[in-house]
RNA sequence: GAGGGCGUAGCGAAGCUGGUUAUCGCGACGGCCUGUCACGCCGUAGAUCGCGGGUUCGAGUCCCGUCGCUCUCGCCA
């Protein structure tokens, strides 16, 4: 057979059923397994749609049997044959096509496959580095096929829903002006203008705001975003957002639009019923109660502020923290069969707390009749009943304490909360708990830089009651900001935007951009705002992160076809790589290699 | 920039307080097998134990350094 001529499939490997008995078919696919029983071969042929068993019996021509002998795993083949209903006792209920098999009349090898670096199965056990190097093989696995399909279905459902709601999908450039705030930019040197650079967008933020000025009052885009920062399990330097913006809306409109979207999408893609409306928590409540601004509400385990009680004790570690304006918080670790709170285990919890800056994790055990035992019990004498009351503790529970600055205290105990939930098996599988975090502070003081900066970005609207005190008390200003949280991950972030030139300039000034620099950096936005900008706001859910959670993965790499590793390298194509001097010359670039530290 | 974990055959792992020829499963290769579906059975090959140095009569094992991967903190509006 010539290279370009082969028997093209008439059916896929996932579609044949008992009712197809007797049909002449052609399958194209990969050899998933080849079981040779001497006189008879069973070849599992796999494609994207499923696996079909092909039988090469002894009545078949010798030439066909010898091809069956030669087949190896992952050979790409074409099979011609007749669909045959399997004898009753041979039906495989675990296979979708298990009622039938294809009795082969001819076999063709379309391409051969070398011995594999790892086995292709539902989920491979090969290390991630190797999976990325041979990503084309890894992608053949059942798990990757399912996740990439889920991702497609998710994005398709989003497009359908938003289109039906009157949104336009509009593309924005990926070569844009570098703007100074936020993450580090990826830069693209200009050939035509020596020394000038484009930046890859960290998000289409300013462009979508300008689309609003342009009159496209409902916009969305499945947008690739680039941030040159270190990767994490849930973070890649290149990722995809559903970028969305609307004109003439309030915060409420944006939240309802998202709730409507995800209700629809989860129902159609996951067959999962979400509540019509998601819980809402203020940022301060989320921090105080769960120790993070992205709480996992699939379980409870609240943090309790015990500063008032701690103040009355003689415990020096508590007193000194309180005296310097810090916080003392406690969490109740419930008595359970599943876990004994040994010193060793409490040590593990303490390690989790220390990651976020706690200096230690104090503990007491709740005994009979409101008695506290071990740990710091002796410092709490006289305050047992009050402590047990506020923490709602019972006999056998452990109380765990962190004393630190408010933020470290929250984050540290939040980490303890998360570890406890995992170890106590409190996290239900297959549930999706969305919640909104609202009322974020607009500004954060940057100690290193010595000035205020935007907690999210500089284009978010301050809540109206703070407009008069922006400059005098930036720290207390709350913004019209909102995050969407799912199962403990931040999956979207948005705000109502500023659409007033003067207000926008005031924000720039507070963030240490004088009018001249603001003009130079953001002049195009300020110019646009001189021409009748509509009030507007939006949000940007992270596609990769959401699909990761929906497919119950803990790494974003599991839902990206070609991800980078933690060192920002793609092991498959070995990027980034050096380029020719000629290319550098054209771009007017000279490479300065960093000096190696001795 | 910092910390934790890992690195033993193509892949995944075992190898305890240092002791002869480094073990197991999958895969590869050869053989047998007519109803399997993670087929089974027999056999063969395949490892400078990440790399470099040190301690020791002797190092996969202990020490120092280094490289790679991975998770996390910082960073990520």
pLDDT one-digit tens code per residue, A424-437: 999 999 999 999 99
Q: What is the DSSP-derived secondary structure letter of residue A22?
A: T
For residues A268 and A317, state if they share a domain.
no
For residues A447 and A345, state if they share a domain.
no
Which among A393, A408, A427 is the end of a domain? Answer: A427
- In this complex, the nucleotide whose C1' atom is nearest to the CA atom of residue A38 is B33
DSSP β-bridge partners for residue A100: A85
In this prediction, residues A150-165 reach a mean pLDDT of 98
A287 part of a folded domain: no
For residues A398 and A449, state if they share a domain.
no
Q: What's the Å distance between residue A36 CA and nucleotide B32 C1'? A: 11
- A128 CB closer than 7 A to any strand B atom: yes
Q: Are A459 and A497 in contact (CB under 8 A)?
A: yes
For residues A34 and A77, state if they share a domain.
yes
**Per-residue pLDDT band at A3 (split at 50, 70, 90):** low
> Where does residue A581 rank: exposed (0-12), middle (13-18), buried (19+ CB within 10 A)?
exposed
Instruction: Give the whole-angstrom CA distance, residue A363 versus residue A326.
Output: 19
- CA nearest neighbour of A387 among A433, A332, A431: A332
Q: What's the Å distance between residue A424 CA and nucleotide B5 C1'? A: 23
Ranges A81-90, A335-344, A353-362, A410-419: which has the least confidence: A335-344
From the C1' of B12, which residue's alpha carbon is nearest?
A125
Instruction: Render pLDDT for A514-572 as a digit per residue (tens, 0 to 9).
Output: 899 899 999 999 999 999 999 999 999 999 999 999 999 999 999 999 999 999 999 99
A85 part of a folded domain: yes
In this prediction, residues A90-108 reach a mean pLDDT of 95
Structure tokens at A384: 């047992």
For residues A490 and A440, state if they share a domain.
yes
A593 part of a folded domain: no
From the C1' of B13, which residue's alpha carbon is nearest?
A125
From the C1' of B3, which residue's alpha carbon is nearest?
A355
Domain span including residue A470: 145-281+435-559
pLDDT score, position A597:
44
For residues A149 and A277, state if they share a domain.
yes
- CA nearest neighbour of A366 among A393, A347, A326: A393
- A129 CB closer than 7 A to any strand B atom: yes
DSSP β-bridge partners for residue A483: A437, A493
How many structural domains compose chain A?
3
Q: Are A119 and A56 in contact (CB under 8 A)?
A: no
Q: What's the Å distance between residue A98 CA and nucleotide B17 C1'? A: 54
**Per-residue pLDDT band at A593 (split at 50, 70, 90):** confident
Instruction: Give the whole-angstrom CA distance, residue A131 versus residue A432.
Output: 29
In this prediction, residues A286-310 reach a mean pLDDT of 96
- A97 CB closer than 7 A to any strand B atom: no
For residues A189 and A258, state if they share a domain.
yes
**Per-residue pLDDT band at A2 (split at 50, 70, 90):** low
Instruction: Give the whole-angstrom CA distance, residue A225 versus residue A216.
Output: 21
Q: What's the Å distance between residue A597 CA and nucleotide B62 C1'? A: 29
For residues A270 and A391, state if they share a domain.
no
Structure tokens at A272: 């999962």
A491 part of a folded domain: yes
For residues A414 and A347, state if they share a domain.
yes
C-alpha torsion angle, residues A558, A563, A566, A571 (rounded to 10):
120
- A50 CB closer than 7 A to any strand B atom: no
pLDDT exceeds cutoff 70 at A4: no
A12 part of a folded domain: no
Which among A376, A396, A427 is the end of a domain? Answer: A427
pLDDT exceeds cutoff 80 at A338: no
Whether a cis peptide bond, with omega within 30° of 0, leads into A576 is: yes
Chain A 199-258, CB < 7 Å to strand B? 202-203, 205, 227, 229-235
A3 part of a folded domain: no
Which among A375, A392, A427 is the end of a domain? Answer: A427
Q: What's the Å distance between residue A106 CA and nucleotide B34 C1'? A: 19
- A36 CB closer than 7 A to any strand B atom: yes
For residues A277 and A307, state if they share a domain.
no
A293 part of a folded domain: no
pLDDT score, position A135:
96
Q: Are A240 and A204 in contact (CB under 8 A)?
A: no
Task: Return the CA Rg of chain A.
Answer: 30
Q: What's the Å distance between residue A133 CA and nucleotide B20 C1'? A: 40
- At A59, which CATH number? 2.40.50.140
For residues A195 and A249, state if they share a domain.
yes
- At A311, which CATH number? 3.30.1360.30
pLDDT exceeds cutoff 90 at A59: no
- At A510, which CATH number? 3.30.930.10
User: Which DSSP string do the residues of A257-326 spell out, in sequence order?
Assistant: HHHHHHHHHIIIII-----SS-EEEEHHHHHHHHSSSS--TTS---EEE-HHHHHHS--HHHHHHHHTT-
A8 part of a folded domain: no
- Nucleotides of chain B within 7 Å of a protein C-beta? 1, 10-13, 26-29, 32-40, 68-77
Q: Are A444 and A414 in contact (CB under 8 A)?
A: no
For residues A256 and A327, state if they share a domain.
no
Q: Are A250 and A228 in contact (CB under 8 A)?
A: no
Predicted-assembly ipTM surpassing the 0.90 threshold? yes
């Amino acid at each position: 057979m010539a290279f370009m001529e082969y028997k093209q499939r008439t059916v896929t490997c996932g579609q044949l059923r008992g009712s197809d008995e007797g049909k002449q078919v052609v399958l194209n696919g990969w050899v998933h397994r080849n079981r040779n029983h001497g006189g008879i071969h069973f070849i599992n042929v796999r494609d994207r749609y499923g696996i079909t068993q092909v039988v090469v019996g002894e009545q078949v021509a010798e030439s066909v049997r010898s091809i069956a002998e030669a087949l190896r795993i992952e050979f790409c083949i074409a099979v011609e044959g007749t669909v045959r209903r399997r004898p009753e006792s041979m039906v495989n209920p675990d296979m979708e096509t298990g009622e039938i098999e294809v009795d082969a009349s001819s076999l063709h090898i379309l391409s051969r496959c070398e011995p594999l670096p790892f086995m292709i199965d539902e989920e491979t056990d090969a290390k991630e580095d190797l999976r990325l190097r041979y990503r084309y093989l890894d992608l053949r696995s059942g798990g990757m096929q399912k996740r990439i399909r889920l991702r497609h279905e998710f994005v398709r459902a989003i497009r359908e829903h938003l289109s039906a709601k009157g949104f336009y999908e509009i593309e924005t450039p990926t070569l844009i002006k570098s703007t100074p705030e936020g993450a580090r930019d990826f830069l693209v040197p200009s050939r035509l203008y020596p020394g000038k650079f484009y930046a890859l967008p960290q998000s289409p933020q300013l462009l979508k705001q300008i689309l609003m000025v342009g009159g496209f009052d409902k916009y969305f885009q499945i947008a690739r975003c680039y941030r040159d920062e270190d990767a994490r399990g849930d973070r890649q330097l290149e990722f995809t957002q559903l970028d969305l913006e609307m004109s003439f809306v309030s915060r409420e409109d944006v939240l309802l639009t998202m709730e409507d979207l995800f209700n629809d999408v989860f129902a159609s893609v996951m067959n999962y019923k979400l509540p019509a409306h998601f819980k809402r928590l203020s940022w301060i409540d989320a921090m105080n109660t769960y120790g993070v601004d992205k709480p996992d509400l699939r379980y409870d385990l609240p943090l309790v502020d015990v500063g008032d009680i701690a103040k009355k004790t003689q415990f020096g570690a508590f007193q000194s923290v309180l005296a310097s304006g810090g916080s003392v918080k406690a969490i109740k670790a419930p008595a359970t069969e599943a876990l004994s709170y040994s010193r060793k285990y409490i040590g593990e919890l303490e390690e989790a707390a220390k990651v976020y800056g706690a200096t230690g994790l104090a503990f007491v055990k709740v005994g009979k009749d409101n008695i506290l035992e071990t740990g710091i019990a002796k410092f709490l004498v006289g305050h047992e009943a009050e402590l047990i009351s506020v923490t709602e503790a019972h006999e056998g529970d452990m109380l765990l304490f962190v004393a630190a600055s408010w933020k470290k205290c929250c984050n540290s105990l939040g980490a303890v909360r998360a570890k406890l939930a995992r170890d106590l098996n409190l996290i239900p599988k297959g549930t999706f708990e969305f919640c909104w975090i609202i009322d974020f502070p607009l500004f954060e003081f940057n100690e290193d830089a010595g000035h205020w900066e935007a907690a999210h970005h500089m284009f978010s609207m301050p809540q109206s009651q703070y407009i008069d005190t922006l400059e005098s008390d930036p720290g207390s200003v709350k913004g019209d900001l909102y995050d969407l949280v799912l199962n403990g991950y931040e999956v979207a972030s948005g705000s109502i935007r500023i659409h007033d030139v003067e207000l926008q300039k005031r924000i720039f000034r507070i963030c240490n951009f004088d009018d001249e620099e603001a003009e130079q950096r953001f002049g195009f936005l300020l110019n646009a705002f001189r021409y009748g900008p509509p009030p507007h706001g939006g949000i940007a859910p992270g596609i990769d992160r959401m699909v990761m959670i929906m497919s119950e993965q803990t790494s974003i790499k599991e839902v990206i076809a070609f991800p980078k590793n933690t060192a920002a390298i793609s092991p498959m194509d070995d990027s980034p790589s050096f380029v020719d001097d000629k290319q550098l010359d054209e771009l007017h670039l000279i490479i300065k290699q960093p000096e190696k530290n001795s």
